[in-house]
């Protein structure tokens, strides 16, 4: 187990490997994050550190100010806990910085984010239904179609694919390879796509 980072999705681009192979990659601004709180098994029942990302200057509540005061690193918009082993938690002090130096090129990480929200969508967009005939006179184009049964059992089963809210779901992608680490820009480049829109918050962990 190891600490992770809170980051922001910058966008996708291309990356050429030394052998000339072209890879689709995502650039993530990973940190820097600061240790806000340490939780230990004797007091809290588990070992973890709480880290903060993106400083918050305005509209700060007194309760927030009090929580961040012990760390002395400022007030942050985003907080996240990362579970640690008992031996690892001793390596972190309140207010200390965690940056991209904890990652190396070639490592595998898991990235968690929220997919793009698409609002209320029909079955064709949400579930890729084929829809009906497009011919003249047809009144069945992008509708759901039959959803129930006859007299027996005479109900609609739970879990039926129906229109509804599409997207804005928490998704975790595992085993994404770090192609490059850019310490000067606090950025990492990972192979493949990462859930969420450009500018969305993601959580990176080994």
Instruction: List the pLDDT tens digit at each of the 206 positions of the chain.
Output: 467 899 999 999 998 988 888 999 999 998 788 888 888 888 888 888 888 888 877 777 777 778 777 777 778 888 888 888 877 787 888 888 888 888 888 899 999 999 999 999 999 999 999 989 989 999 899 998 888 888 888 888 899 999 999 999 999 999 999 999 998 888 999 999 999 999 999 999 88
Look at residue 116 and give its three-state secondary structure.
coil
User: What pLDDT does residue 202 have?
Assistant: 93
User: What pLDDT does residue 2 have?
Assistant: 63
What CATH number should be reported for the domain holding residue 55?
Answer: 2.40.30.10
Task: Give CA–CA dist 64/58, Å, rounded.
Answer: 12
User: What pLDDT does residue 204 have?
Assistant: 93
Instruction: Report yes or no: 144 and 91 within 8 Å, Cβ to Cβ.
Output: no
Same domain? For 187 and 158 the reply is no
Q: Label residues 144-153 b or e (16+ Cβ within 10 Å = b).
A: beeeeeeeee
Same domain? For 84 and 139 the reply is no
User: What pLDDT does residue 170 have?
Assistant: 94
Same domain? For 72 and 90 the reply is yes
Number of domains in the chain: 2
Same domain? For 41 and 142 the reply is no
Domain that includes residue 74, residue range: 5-120+172-205
Same domain? For 20 and 81 the reply is yes
What is the pTM (predicted TM-score) of this model?
0.82
Same domain? For 21 and 40 the reply is yes
Same domain? For 189 and 158 the reply is no
Same domain? For 151 and 162 the reply is yes
Same domain? For 126 and 116 the reply is no
Same domain? For 33 and 78 the reply is yes
Same domain? For 9 and 81 the reply is yes
Same domain? For 75 and 154 the reply is no
With tokens 């600490």, the residue in question is 3
* DSSP string for 150-178: SSSS-SPPTT---SEE-S--EEEEEEEEE
How many angstroms from the chain centroid is the CA of residue 109?
12
Instruction: Report yes or no: 99 and 183 within 8 Å, Cβ to Cβ.
Output: yes
């Amino acid at each position: 187990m190891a600490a992770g980072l809170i980051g922001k999705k910058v966008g996708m681009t291309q990356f050429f490997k030394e052998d000339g192979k072209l890879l689709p990659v995502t650039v993530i601004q990973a940190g820097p994050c600061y240790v806000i709180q340490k939780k230990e098994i004797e007091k809290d029942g588990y070992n973890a550190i709480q880290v903060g990302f993106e400083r918050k200057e305005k509209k700060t509540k007194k309760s927030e100010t009090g929580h961040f005061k012990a760390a002395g690193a400022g007030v942050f918009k985003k907080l996240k806990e990362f579970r640690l082993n008992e031996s690892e938690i001793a390596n972190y002090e309140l207010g200390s910085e965690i940056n991209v130096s904890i990652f190396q090129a070639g490592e595998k990480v898991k990235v968690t984010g929220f997919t793009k929200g698409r609002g209320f969508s029909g079955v064709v967009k949400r579930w890729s239904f084929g829809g009906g005939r497009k011919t003249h006179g047809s009144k069945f184009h992008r509708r759901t179609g039959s959803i129930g049964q006859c007299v027996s059992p005479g109900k609609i089963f739970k879990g039926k694919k129906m229109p509804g809210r599409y997207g804005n779901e928490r998704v975790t992608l595992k085993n994404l390879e770090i192609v490059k680490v850019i310490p000067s820009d606090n950025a990492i480049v990972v192979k493949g796509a990462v859930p969420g829109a450009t500018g969305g918050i993601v959580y990176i962990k080994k």
